Amino acid sequence: MTLVGTSGAAVSPKTGGEPSYEFGRREAEIVARFPSGKRVAVTRGRGRAYPGLMSSAPSTLAFYQTFAPLLRGQHVLDVGAGSGLGTRSLCGQVSHVTALDNDARALEFAREYTPQAELLQTDLCHALPVDRADAAVLVDVLGHLSRPETALRSVRACLPVGGNVFVAEPKAYASQRLIAPACRAFSQRALSQLLLRSGFEVEEVASSVASFVALVARRSGDAALDALVEGFHQAGRGQLHAARREFARASQSERREVRLEALLGEAEAAFAANEGDVAARSYFEANELDARDGRALSGLARVALATGELDDAFRLALDALKRDPTEAAGNTAMALAAERLSHPDAFNAWRIAANLAPNDPEAATGLARVSAAKENYAFAIQVFERLRGYGDALGVDFHVTLGWLLLADGRKNDASVEARYASALAPASLAVAELIDALAAG
């Protein structure tokens, strides 16, 4: 192994808690060495940044340095702290910092790099092991989570009414290319809406330039907003009747932005319950409430798709994207309508949808499907492998479809592997049997 310091040149290990790095023959073989003699294996990638180690993870230190002087109180949560690079800035501002992350190896690094912080391993989408804190900081975290609103509700439960949350996330744009585990970026409006649905009201835009959006919000004590939060919580659990009761309560709010989210929540719950007429009415009301928000039109496009009104779906999705071209649901609706209408832009529409939500099986499958129709099997396979890279559990249909694509591309051995995966998941499936028969015949 070669010992290099944070500048990249061969040096002796630094003092003061700064690590040096040893690189093995393979890129994944990286070990951080601290002045204490502690050695910690680290992974260089998009997941988190390490001090002095070049990687695809963006530097977030500037946001911690921006947020630190704004902190009030004595106890702050660093949610998704990773290596502790930003945690160190927070420790210089408040007396008690609790750093939370689900990666044991990153926390082992942080214990050496930021020993003054309390470090706890936890799943951010479950109840946090903290009773109370004065504020919370989340930098480049929400876009890595499949359920960011769940994590925000967990943070909210630890904060008093009026407690601040400081959030910074990569800014969304239609041609973005996210790298796992990043699965979402945000416009300023979308990030504000996510915070509102989770019980926080934006107080200040700390930054909305370059590649990040940074917001300061506070936990609300508004009863209508509490109902809204509970509504989305129940909807996420599949308890649609309970969710709709809460949305009805929230819709009584005097504040337009709360009523808008309540109407959209009611529409989403009604659509999930196959009540298309109710969903459409709620989407129409939401659109009348805020003509700048494209989500209601995206929802109406989905309703039109469900009823086979393809021209209406295409037009509605197009109008929605004029309001926000980075809204994932609108792009998916546009892509579905374009594909079913045999529109020449169907491939590009699916590519944008998959770029905005690369961990979404529907978007990945759509892009792979139109690619395969053009006999571009290699690209379709690449799309599915990218989806697999997010580590989510993928069902039998994924493995069967990928198996057929690999077989069509002449990769019979790889196709056989996917057939075995599919067979293990659903041994009695006719689709699996057909793939196995095709492999045997070939």
Crossing angle (nearest 10°) for helices 295-306 and 328-340: 30
Question: Average pLDDT in the 212-224 region?
Answer: 96
* DSSP characters over 112-174: HH-TTSEEEE--TTS--S-S--SEEEEES-GGG-S-HHHHHHHHHTTS-TT-EEEEEEEBP-T
| 261 within 8 A of 193, measured Cβ to Cβ | yes
pLDDT at position 27 is 66
- Those residues whose C-beta lies under 8 Å from the C-beta of residue 184, and which sit 6 or more positions away, are 142, 143, 148, 172, 178, 328, 356, 357
Spell out the alpha helix ranges (H) of 186-275. 188-197, 223-236, 240-250, 256-272
Q: What is the mean pLDDT of residues 371-381?
A: 96
HSE-CB for 319 with a 13 A CA cutoff: 16
- Give the tens place of pLDDT for each residue, 380-397: 999 999 999 998 788 999
- The structure tokens listed for 430 are 């006719």
Do residues 358 and 179 make contact, with C-beta atoms less than 8 angstroms apart? no
Predicted confidence (pLDDT) per residue in 251-267, tens digit? 999 999 999 999 999 99
What is the mean pLDDT of the segment spanning 293-315?
A: 98
Number of Cβ within a 10 Å radius of residue 55: 16
Which residues is 138 bridged to in the sheet?
A: 167
Domains of the chain: 2-42 (no CATH), 61-221 (3.40.50.150)
Mean pLDDT in residue range 410-416: 96
Average pLDDT over residues 366-387: 96
Q: Compute φ and ψ for 437, nearest 5 degrees.
A: -65, -40
- Lowest average pLDDT, out of 12-21, 243-252, 379-388, goes to 12-21
Q: What's the average model confidence in pLDDT over 186-193?
A: 96
User: Which range is least confidently modeled, 24-33, 80-89, 179-188?
Assistant: 24-33
Answering whether pTM is above 0.85, one says yes
What's the pLDDT score for residue 208?
Answer: 61
Residue 354 has pLDDT above 80, yes or no: yes
Phi, psi (deg, nearest 5) at residue 208: -145, 45
Q: pLDDT per residue over 160-175, tens digit each? A: 999 999 999 999 998 8
Give the pLDDT confidence score for residue 7 in this predicted structure: 34
- pLDDT value at residue 16: 38
Region 363-369 average pLDDT: 96
